[in-house]
Amino acid sequence: MASMNDKVAVVVGGAKGIGLAIARRLAQEGATVILTGRRADEVAAAAAAIGSSARGIQADAASQADLERVVAEAGRLHGRIDALVLNAGLSEPATIAEETGEHFDRHFAVNVRGALFGIQAALPVLRDGASVVLVGSIADVMGVTPFSTYGATKAALRSYARSWAAELAPRAIRVNVVAPGPTDTDMMAAVSDEMRQTLIAPIPLGRMARVDEVASAAVFLLGDDASFITGAELCVDGGMRQV
């Protein structure tokens, strides 16, 4: 039996990359999926690629009103959310000397504010016993220059996951983090061969993650096989942060 059969899943930031892979895998496992993204064309294409079990909604993860609108639509259509994935993220380089208020605010608005107000909006619709997955990064505990602000946002998510897991435990709602290492997304396709080799060099398994591997970890945490796991971080990094 499919692990997410008859469940309703919402994937914030599900129109491309890791988010799309998670949305696709959830649908393959039997879930009805609502996915979001900022660009209407990407959202429509993602929902069409998954098929009839997916519905796309254009929404900005940094907008509290947009997040509330997505959750309201999920409630109107299905009356509940069984699985919530908060994936929307932004990663742009800046050294300490280059950092600006706008760069800082933009990263925290999408990566942290979006997750906080996404789960807040969903609370009335999240079923008791539901599961939440935050898409973090192994950068949450690494000094990765010039991506210090990005790493700080992911560290904030890791901290929030612990607190939210404790706060929502009385409702049996589990909150976990899946933390990828370097992942072979479309964004990485534009990276030079030299940079790819630099990223791959410290990975014991000798390659980047595939988006479907990250999706498998996320869907595991969302499903009943992970029913006694909460407040945890599952690293999908080929051993990069582990050995």
DSSP of the chain, one letter per residue? Answer: --TTTT-EEEEET-SSHHHHHHHHHHHHTT-EEEEEES-HHHHHHHHHHH-TTEEEEE--TT-HHHHHHHHHHHHHHHS-EEEEEE-------B-TTT--HHHHHHHHIIIIIHHHHHHHHHTTTEEEEEEEEEE--GGGSS--TTBHHHHHHHHHHHHHHHHHHHHHGGGT-EEEEEEE-SB--HHHHTS-HHHHHHHHTT-TTSSPBPHHHHHHHHHHHHSGGGTT--S-EEEESTTTTT-
| Annotated catalytic residue within 7, 16, 150, 160 | 150
- Is position 150 annotated as part of the catalytic site? yes
User: Which token pair is 227?
Assistant: 């029913």
At what angle are helices 40-50 and 17-28 packed, to 10 degrees?
A: 30
| Closest by CA position to 34, among listed 238, 19, 165 | 19
Is residue 154 among the annotated active site residues? Answer: yes
Distance, CA of 94 to chain centre:
23
Angstrom distances, CA of residue 54 to CA of 43, 132, 190: 10, 19, 29
Catalytic residue, chosen from 7, 16, 154, 160, is 154
Which residues are known to be catalytic?
Answer: 150, 154
